[in-house]
Amino acid sequence: MNKNTLGHLRTSLSRKNAFGLLSGIALIGFSLPAFSHGHLVEFDQAIKLDANIENGKKLYKASCITCHGPEGWGVPGSGYPQIAGQLKNVVIKQLADFRAGNRDNPIMRAFSSRRSLGGPQEIADVAAYIASMPMTPNNEQGFRLHLQEGKIIYDKLCAECHGEQGEGDEEEHIPRIQGQHYSYLTRQFNWIRNGRRRNGDEKMIKQIRNFTPPEQVAVLSYVASLKPENVAPQGWRNRDFNTFDRSWRPMQIR
């Protein structure tokens, strides 16, 4: 997709009077950050390995549960994402990227480090366990008023990579984004756009660079509203961690 596509889309959206403010788009110039390929070796190794889910469960309990929670559902309205149900290769890619410093998060960098987590086999194991966890039926929603506009933008610009329903793509390690908490989607979208998240997809960055705030709100609200297939029933608890203290809350982060 190129700028013209977004232009056409804007024209058709404005005709529907969906966004009065769609003109006056500010083009914010910035230079693309250098992309490090150093981590790809570790990534390549980990995706080829046969994963041991049982071991993944142990690793999750030892190193991840205190922040991502026993269900892996994160915390709505905070910086903690839902990771349950994320595609295995995506989790592997993100862990390899945190380790390589391509994602700017000191906490995750420490917990995904070789010393804390282990090597490619451990990455593969914990990723397989996370991918097998069902997703929350109550993820944080965005703004319902704009869902229709959001769908139009999503179908035109995002579906080709993230899938019709935001289910992601295992082969291409493109994240599943359906059913994620709205605040987290917003945070990552901004960070990918402004280069703070250095592993952003170049084509995606080009495409979203000149999104207006209403367009962003619309499309991310729509993404948060998409229902994954692997959603847990209401009230579901992860029996793997029966003894975990359910009054748990991770520390506040921005």
What is the contact surface with ligand HEC in residues (CB under 6 A)? Answer: 63-64, 66-68, 79-81, 83, 86, 91, 93-95, 103, 105, 107-108, 111-112, 117, 126, 157-158, 160-162, 174-175, 177, 185, 188-189, 199-201, 203-204, 207-208, 219, 223, 253
CA angle 212, 77, 97 (to 5 degrees): 75
**Considering the complex, what minimum distance in angstroms separates the CB of residue 3 from ligand HEC?**
13
- Structure-token pair, residue 69: 């929670």
CA torsion angle 234 252 83 207 (round to 10): 120
Nearer to ligand HEC, 73 or 80 (CB): 80
- Closest by alpha carbon to 128, among 58, 222, 211? 58
Q: Which two tokens stand for residue 135?
A: 């997703």
- The 3-state DSSP class for residue 135 equals strand
Contacts for 97 with CB less than 8 Å, ≥ 6 apart? 39, 103, 199
Answer for the pair 137, 231: CB distance below 8 angstroms, yes or no. Answer: yes
Minimum Å gap between C-beta 243 and ligand HEC is: 18
Which 8-state DSSP code applies to residue 182?
H
Q: Closest distance between ligand HEC and the C-beta of residue 121, in Å?
A: 13
Q: Residue 131 CB, nearest distance to ligand HEC (Å)? A: 10
The minimum distance between CB 50 and ligand HEC, in angstroms, equals: 18
How is residue 231 annotated by DSSP?
B
Choice between 18 and 64, CB closer to ligand HEC = 64
Judged by CB, which is closer to ligand HEC: 103, or 232? 103
Q: How far is the CB of 185 from ligand HEC (least distance, A)?
A: 5
Single-letter residue type at 95: L
CB of 253 to ligand HEC, least distance (A): 6
Between residues 207 and 225, which has the closer beta carbon with respect to ligand HEC?
207
Residue 246: CB atoms within 10 A of its CB come to 10
Here the tokens at position 206 are: 């080009």
Nearer to ligand HEC, 183 or 232 (CB): 183
Residue 171 or 235 having the CB closest to ligand HEC: 171
> 151 vs 235, which CB is nearer to ligand HEC?
151
Long-range CB contacts (< 8 A, 24+ apart) of 104-109?
Answer: 104/191, 104/196, 104/197, 104/198, 107/67, 107/253
